[in-house]
């Protein structure tokens, strides 16, 4: 397995492994270690079938089934993002996936099925690099804080409850997912590194602060954590796979391709409770 880093903060291209073949124990360990170290891995020319994508994701843990996004017709654990069937604007904002549950995903495996000729790039930012760039007094302020994360923030009814079936699914998703609380700074369970764990997608407020203080602090943290020096940007070719550590990153999917057809498949691995 060859690893080529893309930026000082985050991201690496992995070559020399084929995710369509069964990975031996050593290759699995190398991949898991690379994920923790580089936070997002890119593999070219993989052309994964949904079954294979599910099996690769399962090497990292149990899989999560999304309460709102549609599932692949054959594989329930693979969700489909299809620009001709869905309005994908909700991913065009910095977010960490599914932080609205008690045990947010450890990571995701995203597979590009069909991509526009140009545009549709995805960006990832390192929450560890963003945390490490803060001053010591600021880190001390954040250490004791927790924040609320709410599914309602990224999934407004106007876009996800258009048909009767969608509305029923949407109402159930909201009922099943009351807001949850996570520390503002989390310690990565494998590397032990600290990282910011708030993002614009789902974080609504900092629990211990007044509304005005929380708004100001979150605005700062969202802007701070997504500066170009903390991120990597990937231009997709069909067949590419990205695997990201969702405990130490956030991401942003550019919706700049108009009516072009873009189809992505995602498998989501459950993680542990952030501490
Ligand atoms: O479509 C993409 O590039 C990423 C969308 C996204 O946010 C996700 O799959 O979690
Ligand atoms: Fe996402």
| Residue 148 near residue 181 (C-beta atoms within 8 A) | yes
Question: What are the Cα distances from residue 134, in Å, to 9, 128, 131?
Answer: 15, 10, 6
62 close to 270: Cβ distance less than 8 angstroms: yes
Interatomic CA distance for residues 263 and 75, integer angstroms: 16
Judge whether 231 and 74 are in contact, CB under 8 Å.
Answer: no
Do residues 189 and 247 make contact, with C-beta atoms less than 8 angstroms apart? Answer: yes
Atom of ligand 1 nearest to the CA of 236: 3
Helix spans in the chain (H): 25-38, 50-58, 127-132, 136-143, 157-160, 164-176, 211-225
Query: How far apart are the CA of 90 and the centre of ligand 1, in A?
Result: 9
Spatial separation of the C-alpha atoms in residues 76 and 152, rounded to whole Å: 23
The tokens 């997002």 sit on which residue?
40
**89 HSE (CA, 13 A, CB side):** 9
Catalytic one among 64, 95, 149, 177? 95
For the chain, give every domain's residue range.
2-269
Atom of ligand 1 nearest to the CA of 242: 3
pTM over 0.95: yes
User: Mutation test of ligand 1: which of 71, 253, 255 has the most ligand atoms closer than 8 Å to its C-beta?
Assistant: 253
Residue 256 annotated in active site: no
146-149 and 203-206 as β-strands: parallel, antiparallel, unpaired?
antiparallel
pLDDT tens, position by position, 215-250: 999 999 999 999 999 999 999 999 999 999 999 999
Return mean pLDDT, the chain: 95
Q: Is 95 a catalytic residue?
A: yes
| pLDDT for residue 160 | 72
For range 3-23, the mean pLDDT: 96
Model confidence over 242-271: pLDDT tens digits? 999 999 999 999 999 999 999 999 999 999
Distance 92 CA to ligand 1 centre (A): 9
CATH class label, 2-269: alpha beta
pLDDT tens, 95-151? Answer: 999 999 999 999 999 999 999 999 999 999 999 999 999 999 999 999 999 999 999
- Residue 240 CB less than 6 A away from ligand 1: no
User: Does ligand 1 lie within 6 Å of residue 196's CB atom?
Assistant: no
């Amino acid at each position: 397995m060859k690893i080529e880093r893309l930026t000082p903060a985050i991201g690496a291209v992995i070559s020399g492994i084929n995710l369509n073949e069964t990975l031996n124990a050593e290759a699995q360990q190398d991949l898991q270690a690379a994920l923790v170290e580089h936070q997002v891995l890119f593999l070219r020319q993989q052309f994964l079938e949904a079954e294979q994508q599910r099996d690769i994701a399962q090497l990292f843990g149990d899989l999560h089934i999304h309460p709102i996004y549609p599932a692949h017709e054959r594989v329930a654990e693979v969700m489909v993002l299809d620009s001709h069937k869905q309005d994908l604007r909700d991913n065009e904002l910095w977010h960490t996936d599914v932080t609205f549950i008690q045990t947010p995903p450890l990571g995701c495996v995203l597979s590009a099925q069909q991509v526009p000729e140009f545009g549709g790039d995805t960006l990832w930012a390192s929450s560890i690099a963003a945390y490490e760039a803060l001053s010591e007094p600021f880190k001390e302020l954040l250490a004791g804080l927790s924040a609320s994360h709410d599914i309602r923030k990224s999934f407004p009814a106007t876009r996800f409850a258009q048909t009767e079936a969608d509305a029923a699914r949407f109402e159930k998703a909201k009922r099943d997912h009351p807001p949850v609380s996570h520390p503002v700074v989390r310690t990565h369970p494998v590397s032990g590194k600290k990282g910011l764990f708030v993002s614009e997608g789902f974080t609504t407020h900092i629990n211990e602060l007044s509304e005005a203080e929380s708004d100001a602090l979150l605005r700062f943290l969202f802007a701070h954590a997504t500066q170009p020096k903390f991120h990597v940007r990937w231009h997709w070719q069909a067949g590419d796979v990205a695997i990201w550590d969702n405990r130490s990153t956030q991401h942003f999917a550019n919706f700049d391709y108009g009516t072009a057809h873009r189809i992505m498949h995602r498998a989501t691995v459950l993680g542990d409770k952030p501490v």
